[in-house]
Chains A and B, each alone.
Chain A
Amino acid sequence: MTASMKARLRRAAWAGAALAAAGLCTGTAGAQGLKQYDSSGKAFWKNPPPDWFLGDETSAQKGLAPPANPALPASDEELTDNLKAVKLPAGFSISVYASGVPEARQMAFGDKGTLFVGSFGATNVYAIVDQGGKKVVKTILKGLNMPTGLAFRDGALYVVAIDKIYRYDNIEANLDKPPEPVVVYDDMPSYVAHGWKYLTFDKDGWVYVPFGPPFNIGNPPSSVSQIRRVDLKTGAAEIVALGVRNSVGGDIDPRTGRYWFTENARDWMSDDIPSDKLNMISKVVEHFGYPYCHQGDMPDPKFAQGRTCSEFTAPVAKLGAHVAPLGMKFYTGSSFPAEYKNNIFIAEHGSWNRHRYQGGRIERVVVDPDGKNAKMETFASGWIKGDREYSGRPADILVAPDGSLLVADDWAGAIYRIAYTK
């Protein structure tokens, strides 16, 4: 990338932020005919606009309501049955690591081998410990507001619940009586819509935090639709990416230290566009296109507002429409064959408003450190039955200390283990 291109990107990013802010404050002439969301009052920041996930649908898309989570986690018998349908490359096998983990989302290992797991609507954080070869699930925290994201560092568990990041010190010694948390960051809006988050520490101890807009498509206030990097020791924060819609997954590239992240594209254009994305931040601050441009090359039919896609950073890979990529990890283990080293695994949660669901699987992406030559293949699939039925929905990925791959499933309420057994 040339210096002038970089400068242009930088300008585009800041112009984008300014335009978004202007659009909201004044309802500019350029945005005429577009929906306007008034972010000047408290209501916007407390509740999403009433059309945040419905309202843009065409008549052909009407009735594509969100699928209902099973009320209870799947039983061991059901899980065994479900996993029989899962297809993997030769030499790999999948088994149940732990069952009875309602709405399991982001996972992180503690230093002493505890697996911590966040949840979506269940309000819980779980700790899964090994007791004589049996995995025991303890609900260590209850009553949190969408505690989807968590991370472990220096003996402490960090949990993000919409508008607060909590720290629980010396957690592994206190699983049965976790300490009172310390709020380490709370400069975040309190709305729930696209407000559920994912936490990723980099090597320097800064944590990457995504901020989704509280609607499907619109000119976002300039404090959201971005990714921040936060130093939880000091509360210092900086914006590292703009123009990001709903991101609930990311990881640091072990080769370069750069942050890569998944992003869910806007809804209701059609079953097949636009594509969800895998992105990489190569420079602070890049703009990834939302709401002007989708999938790197598709101006929004209404919200392009005169901008062109060339102003924005294109994705590393187009993952497909409505596949809903969530958690992702670089493969840093050593028990898989050598060609898997530094590949990316992405947990695709699958569609909720596509006539025929897709995603609901694990994708493998092989890609150069600079984001070039991305190749994708499906690594694990088989959780979709018929047109619109799930037996499971992968929500996060984690490389276990032994090199196997763990998968959190928030539909079946379970953690799976994928091992290379040859």
Chain B
Amino acid sequence: MSGAGSRARRPARRFSGPIRVALGLLTLLAVAPARAAEAPEVAQACLACHGEALAEGAPPIAGHSSNYIQLQLVFFRAGRRKNEIMQGVAEGLSDNDIRALGKYFASLPVPDAKPPADTRAELTRTGEATAARHRCAACHGDAYLGIQAAPRVARLPEAYLAKALTDYRAGTRPSSGGAAMTEVAGALSDADITALAHYLAVLP
């Protein structure tokens, strides 16, 4: 099966027609109220890097769950997740700032980014097999849009995904959901991480 053909048919294999329509409607419903959300004052600093144009190394954060965004800010504030810029920003945030930021960014629609053209179909297939072997979809969902403690990972920047997995493996980024990511990443090889990051970044 060719890489392109496999990708084109994948959604049809996973969701039948009516379910796809329902999922589409749910997505619409979820993002519909978002447009009305007003950015709190404290969000202005975030939007400089995580706004419509992303600064280098800054992942898109719009549409992540409020809980996930709050957790990351708490980790940065406590110095448990390391990033000079983010630690500096999070240092001055109060609990209520963090709650407001979680609520605001969760209310925004997931960026409608087209995945980058996949020029490495073989790596994508390796990544798909690696994801199956490590049961990523069990928590992140078949479409990798996230469930409960597990965030959306579909179509995040490839370099960001690779760094996240490397950091989880090294124990330098804390995991939520009972340390799940620390544990599943522990056994990943460098090649696994490269393939997973690529596969998730180019998901259609």
Interface residues of chain A, those whose CB is within 8 Å of chain B, are: 43, 46-48, 50-55, 57, 62-63, 65-72, 75, 120-121, 123, 146, 192-193, 352
Q: Are A47 and B147 in contact (CB under 8 A)?
A: no
Return the CB mask of B162-176 against A: 1 if under 8 Å, else 0. Answer: 000000000000111
Decide yes or no: A192 and B179 within 8 Å by CB, A50-B187, A55-B135, A65-B138 being known contacts: yes
Query: Shortest beta-carbon distance, A140 to chain B, in Å?
Result: 15
Which candidate, B22-30, B53-61, B66-74, B193-201, is the interface stretch facing chain A?
B66-74
CA–CA, A46 to B178, complex, Å?
16
Which candidate, B2-10, B38-46, B95-103, B153-161, is the interface stretch facing chain A?
B95-103
Nearest neighbor of A67 in chain B, beta-carbon distance: B148
Q: Which residues of B contact A68 (CB under 8 A)?
A: 65, 67-68, 71, 148-149, 176-177
Query: Shortest beta-carbon distance, A79 to chain B, in Å?
Result: 14
CA–CA, A192 to B80, complex, Å?
17
Q: Residue B150 at the A interface, CB < 8 A?
A: yes
Interface residues of chain B, those whose CB is within 8 Å of chain A, are: 65, 67-68, 70-71, 73-74, 80, 95, 98-99, 102, 133-135, 138-141, 147-150, 174-180, 182-184, 186-187
Q: Are B176 and A47 in contact (CB under 8 A)?
A: no
Q: Which residues of B contact A52 (CB under 8 A)?
A: 183
Task: Among A43, A51, A65, A146, point to the contact of B177 (Cβ < 8 A).
Answer: A65
Query: Shortest beta-carbon distance, B82 to chain A, in Å?
Result: 13
Q: Which residues of A contact B74 (CB under 8 A)?
A: 71-72
Nearest neighbor of B184 in chain A, beta-carbon distance: A50
| Residue of B135, B149, B179, B180 ringed by the most chain A CB atoms within 10 A | B179
CA–CA, A178 to B127, complex, Å?
47
Q: Are B138 and A63 in contact (CB under 8 A)?
A: yes
Q: Are B70 and A72 in contact (CB under 8 A)?
A: yes
Query: Shortest beta-carbon distance, A204 to chain B, in Å?
Result: 34
Task: Among A55, A71, A146, A192, point to the contact of B71 (Cβ < 8 A).
Answer: A71
Nearest neighbor of A214 in chain B, beta-carbon distance: B183
CA–CA, A62 to B132, complex, Å?
13
Q: Which residues of A contact B184 (CB under 8 A)?
A: 50
CA–CA, A121 to B183, complex, Å?
13
CA–CA, A70 to B140, complex, Å?
18
Nearest neighbor of A193 in chain B, beta-carbon distance: B183
Decide yes or no: A65 and B148 within 8 Å by CB, A71-B71, A193-B183 being known contacts: yes
Q: Which residues of A contact B182 (CB under 8 A)?
A: 192
Q: Which residues of A contact B178 (CB under 8 A)?
A: 53, 66, 120-121, 352
| Residue of A48, A51, A121, A352 ringed by the most chain B CB atoms within 10 A | A121
Q: Which residues of A contact B141 (CB under 8 A)?
A: 63
Report, nearest first, the 3 A-B pairs whose CB atoms are least far apart: A47-B186, A71-B70, A68-B149
CA–CA, A63 to B150, complex, Å?
10
CA–CA, A63 to B148, complex, Å?
9
Some 27 contacts from A to B, beta carbons below 8 A apart, are: A48-B183, A48-B186, A50-B187, A52-B183, A54-B139, A57-B138, A63-B147, A65-B138, A65-B140, A66-B139, A66-B148, A66-B149, A67-B148, A67-B149, A68-B65, A68-B149, A68-B177, A70-B67, A71-B67, A71-B70, A71-B71, A72-B74, A72-B95, A72-B99, A121-B175, A123-B80, A192-B179
CA–CA, A362 to B102, complex, Å?
32
Query: Shortest beta-carbon distance, A371 to chain B, in Å?
Result: 31
CA–CA, A366 to B78, complex, Å?
43
Nearest neighbor of A352 in chain B, beta-carbon distance: B178
Decide yes or no: A121 and B138 within 8 Å by CB, A63-B147, A68-B148 being known contacts: no
Query: Shortest beta-carbon distance, B185 to chain A, in Å?
Result: 9
CA–CA, A47 to B123, complex, Å?
26
Nearest neighbor of B186 in chain A, beta-carbon distance: A47
Nearest neighbor of A146 in chain B, beta-carbon distance: B179
Q: Which residues of B contact A53 (CB under 8 A)?
A: 178, 180
Q: Which residues of A contact B176 (CB under 8 A)?
A: 68-69, 121
Nearest neighbor of B147 in chain A, beta-carbon distance: A65
Q: Are B148 and A121 in contact (CB under 8 A)?
A: no
Q: Which residues of A contact B138 (CB under 8 A)?
A: 54-55, 57, 62-63, 65
Q: Which residues of A contact B179 (CB under 8 A)?
A: 121, 146, 192
Query: Shortest beta-carbon distance, A350 to chain B, in Å?
Result: 13
Query: Shortest beta-carbon distance, A148 to chain B, in Å?
Result: 11
Q: Are A71 and B147 in contact (CB under 8 A)?
A: no
Q: Are B80 and A50 in contact (CB under 8 A)?
A: no
Q: Are A192 and B183 in contact (CB under 8 A)?
A: yes
CA–CA, A71 to B65, complex, Å?
11
Task: Among A57, A63, A66, A146, point to the contact of B180 (Cβ < 8 A).
Answer: A66
